[in-house]
Amino acid sequence: MHHFIQLTDLIEELKACHIHIGDLEHVDAVLQNIISDGPDKLQVVADFDRTLSKYTHRGQICATCHNVLEEGGVLPDFYKEKALKLRDKYFSIETDPEMTIEEKTPYMIEWWTEAHDLLNMCHITKEAVQKMVANSTAKLRDGCKWLFDECHRASIPLLIFSAGVGDVIEEIIHQQSTLYDNMHIVSNYMNFDKEGKMVGFKNDIIHVFNKNENAIHKSDYFENLKDRVNIILIGDSLGDLQMADGAEHMKNKLKIGFLNTKVDETLELYKKKFDIVIVQDESLDLLNAVIRKVI
């Protein structure tokens, strides 16, 4: 407790009332280690939608990768109608605090399969993706540009692991910040034919609850970073907790979770699963405060 009081003095942002911590002593110890080991030992793994991107901007709900395609004003009306119907059906399952991940998974596979099939019918182009992103309400969180710039400057690897659409994520980052070479995106990427029209997706579906079993854990990504024994994981879904399962040599892992919806019903569960829970915040201030102490 004594240490924690010292630490909160160090990181002013931890004192904010929308920050919830289940185990203060644990967070204190992990943070002290991560800060004293410095930037060469750190790697960051982040979810994209509603983690690096905003859930709300000045109170108005912002677009996810998929919403960008719906509200972009480019794809045919039937796309938007059907995509919204799918979300009505499946989003409440995704965020249902009463269901287990095992119970939710088959529904998520159904959702992603149907959504990808629907998109395949639209023969979207890369230019259309640029236009839709520019037209959309998708926004990186306040402080995201600072995070990207500083992680790049300090050579801290940043993995963005998303069940959204990789092409849309890259475009959002290009338009609102910079995609640096220390950043790596693992997501659902579109395949384009010779005429530049989308013809399906590359690789297997990444949905919210299979971030434990995908390409990245089988690839050499974490193996190549095995000297970076400290990891900050940041997400908004319980599925995001598995994003760094492939990293086996971890000494210190700090799990930060944004709780964007169903706050009353879900806060206690999130406090058990994430080390730090941030409720209704449009910024990355807390993560950036930690990074600022590390570098």
- Nearer residue to ligand C5P within complex by CB, 129 or 163: 163
CB of 70 to ligand C5P, least distance (A): 8
The single-letter DSSP state of residue 63 is P
Q: Is 49 a catalytic residue?
A: yes
SS3 sequence of 136-184: CCCCECECHHHHHHHHHHCCCCEEEEEEEEHHHHHHHHHHHCCCCCCEE
Among 41, 54, 66, 217, binds ligand C5P (CB under 6 A): 66
Taking the least distance from each CB to ligand C5P, the nearer of 27 and 63 is 63
AA identity, residue 252: N
Stretch binding ligand C5P (CB under 6 A), from 110-118, 226-234, 273-281, 284-292: 110-118
Which CB, 115 or 238, lies closer to ligand C5P? 115
C-alpha span between 263 and 55 (Å, rounded): 13
To the nearest whole angstrom, how small is the minimum distance from the Cβ of residue 9 to ligand C5P?
Answer: 33
What sign results for the dihedral spanned by CA atoms 216, 220, 221, 227? positive
Query: Which candidate, 261, 234, 278, 262, places its Cα nearest to that of 20?
Result: 278
Of residues 234 through 263, those in contact with ligand C5P by CB under 6 A are: 237
| 28 a catalytic residue | no
**Burial class for 197, CB neighbours closer than 10 Å (0-12, 13-18, 19+):** middle
Q: Which two tokens stand for residue 180?
A: 């640096």
Stretch that binds ligand C5P, among 9-17, 41-49, 188-196, 251-259 (CB under 6 A): 41-49
64 touches ligand C5P by CB under 6 A: yes
Helix axes 166-176, 144-153, angle to 10 degrees: 90
Cα dihedral 73→94→239→81 (10° resolution): -20
Q: Which of 27, 35, 41, 48 binds ligand C5P (CB under 6 A)?
A: 48
How many residues touch ligand C5P (CB under 6 A)?
18
**Considering the complex, what minimum distance in angstroms separates the CB of residue 41 from ligand C5P?**
26
Assess 171 for contact with ligand C5P (CB under 6 A).
Answer: no
Tell whether residue 91 is a contact of ligand C5P (CB under 6 A).
yes
What is the contact surface with ligand C5P in residues (CB under 6 A)? 47-50, 64, 66, 86-87, 91, 94, 111-112, 115, 162-164, 208, 237
The residues annotated as belonging to the active site are: 47, 49
